[in-house]
Homo-oligomer: A and B are copies of this chain.
Amino acid sequence: MLPADFISRLQAIVGRDNLFTDPVDCYAYAYDNSRKIFPPEAVAFALNTQQVRDVIQLCNQCAVPVTPRGRGTGTAGGSIPECGGLVLSLERMRNIILVDPANRLIVAEPGVLNQEIQEAAKQHGFFWPPDPSSSAYCSIGGNLATCAAGPHAVKYGVTRDHVLGLKAVTGNGEIIKTGCATTKGVVGYDLTRLIIGSEGTLAVITEATLKLTPLPQSVGGITAHYADITHCARAITAIMAQPHIPSALEFLDSAALDLIRGRHPGLLPENSRAMLMIEADGGTAEIADSAEAIRRACQNDGLITAEATADPAGLWAVRKALSPLLRDIAPKKINEDIVVPVSRLPELLQGLGELSRKYRVANVNFGHAGNGNIHVNLLINPDDPDEMRRGEACLDEVFDLVLKLGGTLSGEHGVGREKRAYVGREIDAQTMALMKQIKQVFDPNGILNPGKLFP
């Protein structure tokens, strides 16, 4: 329950038009793409840094939990108001403050959509590399909070590699400025990257200086099909061992291909049991060189075909068709984004197959193979308690396998509430204790996105 005068004080800060208290209105802010539901008691829409500060100070004074939220597209439950209280939505802070092509940067508020940043940058021949599949409707605030990535991370890196500085409000209600406007800068501690990926548990980002990258001159695509997953995994390793870094290297396993075949007959060769979608970008001559080197690396006994794609944009049609199909057949699937060193992918993919058989849980695996980042989808029916139990036991072993192979539990989705129970397997006790102390420094009263990220 909120304290008596909380809502009136909140309204004094953000105004009546930027406040929801009706449970019907609040319900839309109860969930994200993890599909768990925890309704907040109120939703406030801040319009500027000062309002964010005032709201967080009020929440500190009233001991009200506050969950910052972008567009709620995360899959790990990081923006769910699990403890009730207030959702602080940044979606109305939508100004692009500065587009500065001469210095290759954009300064923007957190509610600006990833797509809008791309459009503003494109006019000047640039782009911002983080490209989650939700880019058309996710906000950069959320991209920063989760350190989002996407298929092009294999060449261009992840969010933390493309941010120069931040303005933010700590959990203690203090405005801080981190980083600088230039690509070099070593004055003080790197709070920029400490906040990036902290999933709104340390501070609320209210402004970001994003580093832009020149758009490649052109893009080429290769599609490769394999007779089995083992040979496909070997090809991934071979591609990543040679110097021409693909701009994307996406993988689909046989279950993913079968799903696509069901909806789009004739699109895929019948004997393909694993597929790679490979993109190379750069100048025309550079792409020709890369494509040749990559095609060479694709060769092995299991290769069915490796062909240049006439339309590189079409390359992604297959991949983008997949996620909605998965939702259709298993709306409550367990969706993970584990990572292993690329050379361990053959072992990982073999192990995932064995675990699927052992626990009788169908799985569909695809993802950003060039980074070793595989989206493992366990297709379970939550209304079947036995299948649920088997799914959870299977997941447990999947995580053990990943850590045994030197990997990490999450490449881009984050921990949120979905994976926190497993964090202690990856991060040792002393390092975790230090992280909790840092949380305490930023948010001494523990009001900012409480309960997230830590076990």
Contacts and interface: CB of A to CB of B under 8 A. Distances in A.
Interface stretch (A26-34, A80-88, A432-440): A432-440
A157 to B, nearest CB: 7
Nearest to A241: B102
A237 B342 contact: no
Interface string A9-45: 0000000000000000000000000000000000000
Contact of A431 (B102, B191, B237): B191
Contacts of A434: 170, 174, 176, 191, 441-442
- Chain A to chain B: the 5 pairs with minimum beta-carbon distance, closest first: A285-B285, A214-B243, A184-B411, A102-B343, A193-B193
Nearest to A420: B187
Interface stretch (A59-67, A302-310, A421-429): A421-429
A243 B100 CA distance: 14
A269 interface: no
Given A286-B286, A343-B102, A441-B441, A415 B187 contact: yes
A434 B341 CA distance: 35
Copies of this chain in the oligomer? 2
A146 B427 contact: no
Given A187-B423, A341-B182, A428 B176 contact: yes
Interface string A396-421: 00000000001111111111000100
Interface of A: 100-104, 125, 146-147, 149, 153-154, 157-158, 160-161, 170, 174-178, 180-191, 193-194, 196-198, 202, 214-215, 217, 237, 240-241, 243-245, 282-286, 289, 339-343, 368, 371-373, 406-415, 419, 423, 426-428, 430-432, 434-435, 437-442, 453
A340 B182 contact: yes
B102 A237 contact: yes
A282 B245 CA distance: 12
A141 to B, nearest CB: 16
A431 to B, nearest CB: 4
A176 B240 contact: no
Given A102-B240, A174-B434, A177-B431, A182 B371 contact: yes
Residue among A217, A243, A245 with the highest chain B CB neighbour number at 10 A: A243
Point out which of A101, A193, A284 has the most chain B C-beta atoms below 10 A from its C-beta.
A193
A70 to B, nearest CB: 16
A252 B286 CA distance: 32
Nearest to A245: B214
Contacts of A243: 125, 214-215, 217
